[in-house]
Amino acid sequence: MSGRSVVVTGGAGAIGAAVIRRFESEGERAVALDVRAGPGVIACDVSDEAAVHAAMAEARRRHGPITVLVHAAGITGAGGIEDEAPAAWRRIIDVNLTSAYLCAREVVGDMRAAGGGAIVLVASVNGRFGGSALSGPAYAASKGGLLTLARFMAREHARDGVRVNAVAPGPHDTPMWNALDAERRSAILGMLPGGGTGHPGDPDDLAAMIVHLCRPESRFITGATIDVNGGQWMG
């Protein structure tokens, strides 16, 4: 597996950064795309087609053709249909879902030419059970869309040797989680088996699953959604 060119969107976030660290520890050449600038990060609004094209070109310049993509970029909402303004709906859909389409279409050519590749889309447990006012409608819809997009691409690009999977995390110990008030965190943890006595997941553990889906030993896993949610949703 060593030495592949890896792109991680949302790579400056807690989950994305954990994925980057794990890939690099295994000898991969990983680069982060994120709207937040930082050391080694390629600044990119992943909802912007031109920005994505330029960022992927820079990633290729640094490390060569891209054969692994992890899409972890995303933003959340809140409230119901009447609470979430149309502008907010469009922005969340663009950042969470349209961005995955924009990024994937930039790298599948590289993967086809290389004889294969791996894509992992970071969705959410909200895409499984439909979400709630804690997530908002656009967030739930966008994450459900990622699950379907992963299946579509897995079928469409199987002939190219490209495997596409999704992960559907529950609550994890990230700045997004910690920004929620105590009441909301308690309500979410209350959905886990044990009546709210549990804790959010560890981003490093989630990163381990994501990287595993990109390894050769996962060659027979494609079009799947892996639930990493502490039992919040069981399907």
Active site (catalytic) residues: 139
Helix (H, G, I), strand (E, B) or coil at 6: strand
Structure tokens at 226: 């892996």
Cα distances (angstroms) measured from residue 174 to each of 157, 178, 206: 33, 6, 12
Alpha-carbon distance of 39 to 217, in angstroms, equals: 32
The DSSP symbol for 96 reads: I
Is the Cα torsion angle 41, 45, 108, 60 positive or negative in sign? negative
Exposure of 75 by Cβ count < 10 A (0-12 exposed, 13-18 middle, 19+ buried)?
middle
Helix (H, G, I), strand (E, B) or coil at 189: helix
Structure tokens at 116: 């294969």
What are the start-end ranges of the E strands in 77-211?
A: 117-122, 162-169
Alpha-carbon distance of 58 to 42, in angstroms, equals: 8
Alpha-carbon distance of 145 to 127, in angstroms, equals: 8
Helix (H, G, I), strand (E, B) or coil at 60: helix
Q: Give me the helix-helix angle, 137-156 and 86-93, nearest 10°.
A: 30
